[in-house]
A and B are shown apart, each in its own frame.
Chain A
Amino acid sequence: MNKVVLNADEAIGNIKDGDVLMLGGFGLCGIPENCIAALVKKGIRDLTCISNNAGVDDFGIGLMLKKKQVRKMISSYVGENAEFERQLLSGELEVELIPQGTLATRCLAAGYGMPAIYTPAGTGTEVAEQKEIRNFNGKEYLLEYAFHADYALVKAWKGDPDGNLIYRETARNFNPLMAMAGKITIAEVEQLVPAGELDPDFIHTPGIYVHKIFQGKNYEKRIEQRTFRKVS
């Protein structure tokens, strides 16, 4: 067993036109920067991307949108991206908006081997249209199916050759959930450490969910809203 690959180009080598991808991150926090750059370089097209957000014009998934590599986005919030808006209004891009907790839990369900979940999010709204509704204890819930992807691309802080991952602060977000939901999961890490160096008590994603791992480089970690406290 060897999960370690040289770089992002090698890691994404088998991704092809039309594949369904999951990309971890919340806004630009904890996104797989190296994998996105490699996908842009390779020019794969007609992708369906499941990701909470769609990046900004010149970073994150926004870089793939600019090159028209994305056919469909499945997200909870897609503001802050003018090119996204242009493609959506022109009909070049298809978008499915789903509640954020539903997105997270549908990934979780896949990783837990459950075909579907019931959630109250969206009951009585247009999100509930065409969906099975079931009443439990007097409250309505929607049936939402588990999400599967051909590839999940996640970013972690530390990882080891067995694919065990540890995330940092709020850069965790969707990463461990998507890591569980990919048929093939590719992890890029800030620090690839030797086997045995990570404390088994502190692993967030056990290596069984990870198929390829590589040491990332040149992380930009862009901040969307730089906010400060006034120091008097």
Chain B
Amino acid sequence: MPLTKEEIAQRIARELKDGYYVNLGIGIPTLVANYIPSGIKVVLQSENGLLGIGPFPEEGREDPDLINAGKQTVTTVPGSAFFDSAMSFGMIRAGKVDLTVLGAMEVSEKGDIANWKIPGKMVKGMGGAMDLVASAKNIIVAMMHTNPKGESKLLSHCTLPLTGTRCVKKIVTDLAVLDITENGFKLLERAPGISTDEIRSKTEGKLIVEGEIREMVF
């Protein structure tokens, strides 16, 4: 079975380490916050000016001055800090954020990412995505392996306008976990019941398969 969105988030959460400062993008990445392993402390950064994002507020306790980058009402946690947008991107640019998790429309085998614009469609803008991918130390992409038409989103070259180049380090899809290496996508893990052949057939870019590929366990 392919992973659900929650399982993709759950798998990415296993990459978190104690003391990490993490920026989670909109969509599946946001769900990662629900699966932070117990016993470690992770501080979530929101690019609109908050370190230490807490859970959603209880109904009736929402505060219009306290939102995340997805414009959702949130809360703070003990130890939270507010700052302006320049400092927010300053800490991102300076490499202080340990991990960035974001969605993508396409990723190339070199680690290029496209996630902001589809020619011919209304373009909403890149928001903070270009700043994040240009500077983050470690970028994990969370996405479906194929688009709604069934076409691979893991390509030799991106066809859509780029958000950043040679920046993605790891991809977790509904079918697999892959690292971006010098030589292409390296398959690390398979979704339960998904064969290496199926992953190969749905990966347009160069796929490296070495030895036995283990199945993810949830």
Q: B86: CB under 8 A from chain A? A: yes
Complex contacts, B21 vs chain A, CB 8 Å: none
Contact of B85 (CB < 8 Å), options: A26, A119, A120, A124: A26
Q: Assess whether A27 is in contact with B135, with CB atoms less than 8 Å apart.
A: no
Q: B50: CB under 8 A from chain A? A: yes
Q: A177: CB under 8 A from chain B? A: yes
Q: Assess whether A125 is in contact with B85, with CB atoms less than 8 Å apart.
A: no
Complex Cα gap A32–B74 (Å): 22
Complex Cα gap A105–B65 (Å): 22
Complex contacts, A97 vs chain B, CB 8 Å: 123, 125-126
Complex contacts, A121 vs chain B, CB 8 Å: 89, 93, 130-131, 134-135
Interface positions of A from 116 to 151, Cβ below 8 Å from B? 119-127
Contact residues on B (Cβ < 8 Å of other chain), bracket:
35 or more
Complex Cα gap A82–B43 (Å): 36
Complex Cα gap A10–B72 (Å): 34
Q: A34: CB under 8 A from chain B? A: no
Q: Which residue of B lies closest to A97 (CB)?
A: B125
Complex contacts, B46 vs chain A, CB 8 Å: 170
Q: Assess whether A170 is in contact with B72, with CB atoms less than 8 Å apart.
A: no
Of B11-19, B160-168, B170-178, B196-204, the stretch lying at the interface with chain A is B160-168
Q: A221: CB under 8 A from chain B? A: yes
Contact of B65 (CB < 8 Å), options: A78, A176, A204, A221: A221
Interface flags, B62-81, vs A, CB<8A=1, else 0 = 11111110111110000000
- The smallest C-beta distance from B87 to any residue of chain A, in angstroms, reads 9
Interface positions of A from 158 to 183, Cβ below 8 Å from B? 168-177
Complex contacts, A185 vs chain B, CB 8 Å: none
Complex contacts, B67 vs chain A, CB 8 Å: 26-27, 29, 170, 223-225
Complex contacts, B123 vs chain A, CB 8 Å: 97
Which of A28, A29, A175, A224: most chain B CB closer than 10 A? Answer: A29
Q: Assess whether B49 is in contact with A172, with CB atoms less than 8 Å apart.
A: yes
Interface positions of B from 33 to 82, Cβ below 8 Å from A? 46-50, 55-59, 62-68, 70-74, 82
Q: Which residue of B lies closest to A174 (CB)?
A: B85
Interface flags, A177-197, vs B, CB<8A=1, else 0 = 100000000000000000000
Which of B63, B67, B130: most chain A CB closer than 10 A? Answer: B130
Q: A215: CB under 8 A from chain B? A: no
Complex contacts, B65 vs chain A, CB 8 Å: 29-30, 157, 168-171, 221
Which of B73, B84, B128: most chain A CB closer than 10 A? Answer: B84
Q: Assess whether B122 is in contact with A89, with CB atoms less than 8 Å apart.
A: yes
Q: Which residue of B lies closest to A103 (CB)?
A: B85
Q: A19: CB under 8 A from chain B? A: no
List residues of chain B with CB under 8 Å of any chain A CB.
46-50, 55-59, 62-68, 70-74, 82-86, 88-90, 92-93, 112, 122-131, 134-135, 161-166
Q: Which 6 A-B pairs give the minimum distances between C-beta atoms? A: A101-B89, A101-B131, A124-B165, A79-B124, A221-B64, A104-B85
Task: Give me 30 A-to-B residue pairs in the complex whose CB atoms sit less than 8 angstroms apart, sorted by A's number.
Answer: A26-B71, A26-B85, A28-B64, A29-B48, A29-B65, A77-B127, A85-B122, A88-B122, A97-B123, A100-B85, A103-B85, A107-B86, A120-B135, A121-B134, A123-B165, A124-B112, A124-B166, A125-B130, A157-B65, A169-B65, A170-B48, A170-B49, A173-B49, A175-B84, A221-B64, A222-B64, A227-B62, A227-B72, A227-B74, A229-B56
